[in-house]
Amino acid sequence: MIEVVGLRKTFGSVNALNDISFEVAKGQIVGFLGANGAGKTTTMDILCGCIGADAGLAKIAGFEISEEPLEVKKRIGYLPDEPPLHKEMKVNEYLTYVGKLHGLAGQDLKRKVAGIIERLEIGGVQSRLIGNLSKGYKQRVGLAQALIHDPEVLILDEPTEGLDPNQILQIRQLIRSLRDQHTILFSSHILSEVESICDHLIIIDKGKIVEQGTHEELIARLESGRQFQLKVRQGASSLAAKLKAYPSLFDIVVDDEDGQKISFRTKDQDQDLDRVAREVLDGGFGFQELALKSKKLEDVFFQLTR
Amino acid sequence: MSAVMTIAGRDLRAYFASLKGAVTFFFLLMFMGLFFQSFCSTYLQFQEQASQYGGEPPKLSQLLTAIFQNLHFIFLFIVPAVTMASFAEERKTQVDRLLQTAPVSTIQVVMGKFGAAAGFLALVLIASAVFPLYLFKYGNPDLGPILTSYLGIFLLMAGQVAFGLWVSSMVSHQFLAFLFTAFGLFLLLILAWIAPNISSAGGVEEFVKYLAATSHLDNLFNGLLTVADVVYFVVFIALFLFFTNVSLDSQRWR
């Protein structure tokens, strides 16, 4: 549904995007993850036709954005980091205006405005001026604006930025409820958010894609040797010294707080776990536990963007 | 076309939703009323003198020229105030993304914004028709020169709006848009007066005078409607709307 190949963009001497390529399949929710200034908004702005790329292709539903911008714009709904709201308008007036811009008219327009107001639960504020709404409601109206024409692709730039914890949960729930009906590209620098909403992740740093895949895939791929944790009843430090003799085991560390725990990494899991278990049993250290220390997305992110 | 009307309709309502609309209406009507009142009394004085002491009585076109040329000065401040926010403010508050991502072309956006600003000022002019109506109540003036004067002032204003939109499309702060537009319009106003100083060569001087709006307005204020004058204003408007379109399009690539 979204196809990006070799996208480049410079602002003066700053290289904002450097050869970005990715694909998003129909119906997927894809998280675009990166620190502030990594190039997330620039990529999204190019996809929506707000700015032009210096090189590369950006296709949405088969239409190239610089060649057929109007066809692309009919098929996307965009919620920028700052929702584009006319503060002097009432919510229902504003949504009617956006609907008209998207070519809706008559009964269809009325039905869609009423539908989106109900879907986003903004009926209570529909006759209020947008400028007087709270940030959470403004964000909902922004989302309603992006959804009014029922677009195939929804592009959301940090939709939970600046909201309070309750509002964040509501917006996340709302985005999850849009799964299946829309293909969603969703940017954030909050890792837990991306982890909880998205099927697929793209990590971007300094204008380059550093990794992409499902988050389990990313975690597995990025661990340079999987990390395990071993717990014994006694003599952890002498056991650690013995384990250091095996060249395929590395990063062997005895836990400072709990002196009975040793963590280590291995590149050859099948062989090494047997060896470790044998060392523990033969040396009489008292085997208690051997477990895979799961790697969190945070670690992956820091490792990639450090 | 419907997208142009949608954008124009929204922007037109926005003028009335803000204090700006009311202030513009108030100032334009107030100045027009002042000019009308003061020039009408001068006109009556001259008429009385002519009937008492002989000589040629003043013409209606002289009264209209006096009123509308003075209004030209007021437009130097009113038009920039109306157009300054059109693009500059939307860019600053990032509301421009709404039109950038909607399936409308840049020219539709430009035409919509132009329609709103020119339409708003046209409404003020319509409201000001109350002054000429007084002339009909207490006298029997020629309708022709009044209509051509109104057409002239409307064309002038539309040209100034197109210029103001172009400036607003290039800057990111509405105050800067106001300053640059007012300054640009002032230069256009004095072109005819400074033309002899620019070059004494006949051709150049004539050309610079041709560029000035004032030389085209004189005919219209005198009740003379010529194709050349109307074409001048239409080309002026089209040219600056085209510049605005180019300016907005080029920003996507910076």
Q: Residue A236 to residues A259, A263, A276, A292, B79: CA-CA distances in angstroms?
A: 7, 11, 12, 18, 83
Domain count, chain A: 2
Helical (H) or strand (E) element with A45: helix A40-48
Q: In sequence order, which residues have a C-beta less than 8 Å from that of residue B42 and are 6 or more positions away?
A: B66
Nearest to A149 by CA among A122, A123, A182: A182
Nearest to A91 by CA among A131, A132, A129: A129
Tokens read off for A89: 């308008």
Chain B CA closest to residue A105: B2
The verdict on residue A164 lying in a domain is: yes
Inspect the interface and report whether the beta carbons of B101 and A76 lie closer than 8 Å. Answer: yes
Same domain, A146 and A244: no
Nearest to B192 by CA among B217, B229, B167: B217
- Which residues of chain A does B99 touch, with a Cβ-Cβ cutoff of 8 Å? 101
The verdict on residue A258 lying in a domain is: yes
Contact A211, A305 (CB under 8 A): no
The shortest CB-CB distance from B102 to any of A82, A88, A102 is to: A102
The verdict on residue A168 lying in a domain is: yes
The verdict on residue A36 lying in a domain is: yes
Contact B160, B125 (CB under 8 A): no
pLDDT of residue B202: 67
- Which residues of chain B does A80 touch, with a Cβ-Cβ cutoff of 8 Å? 94, 97
CB burial of B17-32 (b: ≥16 within 10 Å; e: otherwise) equals eeebbeebbeebbebb
Residue A186's SS3 state is strand
Same domain, A171 and A237: no
Contact B124, B28 (CB under 8 A): yes
The verdict on residue A305 lying in a domain is: no
Inspect the interface and report whether the beta carbons of A48 and B10 lie closer than 8 Å. Answer: no
| DSSP for B174-218, written as a single string | HHHHHHHHHHHHHHHHHHHHHHHHH--SHHHHHHHHHHSHHHHHH
- Which residues of chain B does A67 touch, with a Cβ-Cβ cutoff of 8 Å? none
Nearest to B229 by CA among B246, B244, B212, B245: B212
Same domain, A163 and A284: no
pLDDT of residue B165: 94
Region of A6 on the Ramachandran plot (φ > 0 left; ψ -120 to 50 alpha; else beta) = left
Same domain, A147 and A39: yes
The verdict on residue A301 lying in a domain is: no
- Which residues of chain A does B19 touch, with a Cβ-Cβ cutoff of 8 Å? none
- Which residues of chain A does B102 touch, with a Cβ-Cβ cutoff of 8 Å? 73, 98, 101-102
The shortest CB-CB distance from B95 to any of A76, A86, A102 is to: A86
Query: pLDDT (tens digit, 9 = 90+) per residue, B209-244?
Result: 778 888 888 888 888 888 988 999 999 999 999 999
Domain boundary (A151, A183, A213) is at A213
Same domain, A124 and A262: no
Domain residues for the domain of A236 are 225-294
pLDDT of residue B1: 64
Report the C-alpha gap between A157 and A160 in whole angstroms: 9
Contact A129, A94 (CB under 8 A): no
pLDDT above 70: percentage of residues in chain A: 93
pLDDT of residue A158: 86
Domain boundary (A166, A191, A213) is at A213
Given a cut of 60, whether residue A294 has pLDDT beyond it is no
Query: pLDDT (tens digit, 9 = 90+) per residue, A36-94?
Result: 778 888 999 898 888 888 888 888 888 888 888 888 999 999 999 889 999 989 999 99
CATH assignment at residue A105? 3.40.50.300
Nearest to A240 by CA among A213, A216, A219, A259: A259
Same domain, A170 and A115: yes
φ/ψ of B139, rounded to 5, equals -150, -165
- Tens place of pLDDT for every residue, chain B, 254 residues? 688 999 999 999 998 888 888 888 888 889 888 888 888 888 888 888 888 887 777 777 777 788 888 888 888 888 999 998 888 888 888 888 999 999 999 999 999 999 999 999 999 889 888 888 887 887 777 888 888 888 999 999 999 999 999 999 998 888 999 999 999 999 888 887 777 777 666 677 777 777 888 888 888 888 888 898 899 999 999 999 999 999 998 887 76
The model's confidence at residue A162, banded by pLDDT at 50, 70 and 90, is confident
Same domain, A147 and A289: no
Nearest to B221 by CA among B54, B71, B19: B71
Query: pLDDT (tens digit, 9 = 90+) per residue, A164-188?
Result: 888 788 888 888 888 888 899 988 8
Residue B3 C-alpha, separation from nearest chain A C-alpha, in angstroms: 6
pLDDT of residue A223: 60
How many Cβ atoms sit within 10 Å of the Cβ of residue B140?
A: 6
Same domain, A204 and A229: no
Same domain, A110 and A238: no
Given a cut of 90, whether residue A129 has pLDDT beyond it is yes
Same domain, A205 and A256: no
Same domain, A186 and A284: no
Inspect the interface and report whether the beta carbons of A101 and B98 lie closer than 8 Å. Answer: yes
Q: In sequence order, which residues have a C-beta less than 8 Å from that of residue A138 and are 6 or more positions away?
A: A83, A85, A130
Report the C-alpha gap between B169 and B181 in whole angstroms: 11
The model's confidence at residue A34, banded by pLDDT at 50, 70 and 90, is confident
Cα–chain-centroid distance for residue A60?
19
Question: Which of A45, A51, A89, A101 is the best mutation test for B, with the most CBs of B within 10 A?
Answer: A101
CATH assignment at residue A261? 3.30.70.100
φ/ψ of A10, rounded to 5, equals -120, 145
The verdict on residue A114 lying in a domain is: yes
Contact B113, B177 (CB under 8 A): no
The model's confidence at residue A297, banded by pLDDT at 50, 70 and 90, is low
Given a cut of 80, whether residue A226 has pLDDT beyond it is no
The shortest CB-CB distance from A70 to any of B17, B95, B105 is to: B105
Q: In sequence order, which residues have a C-beta less than 8 Å from that of residue A98 and are 6 or more positions away?
A: A145, A148, B98, B102
The verdict on residue A299 lying in a domain is: no
pLDDT of residue A222: 62
Domain boundary (A162, A184, A213) is at A213
> Higher confidence at residue A223 or residue B234?
B234
pLDDT of residue A175: 85
Given a cut of 60, whether residue A252 has pLDDT beyond it is yes
Nearest to A73 by CA among A105, A110, A46, A107: A46
Residue B125 C-alpha, separation from nearest chain A C-alpha, in angstroms: 25
| B interface with A, Cβ–Cβ below 8 Å | 2-3, 6-7, 10, 14, 17-18, 93-105, 252-254
The shortest CB-CB distance from A88 to any of B2, B17, B94 is to: B17
Given a cut of 80, whether residue A298 has pLDDT beyond it is no
pLDDT of residue A79: 92
Same domain, A20 and A160: yes
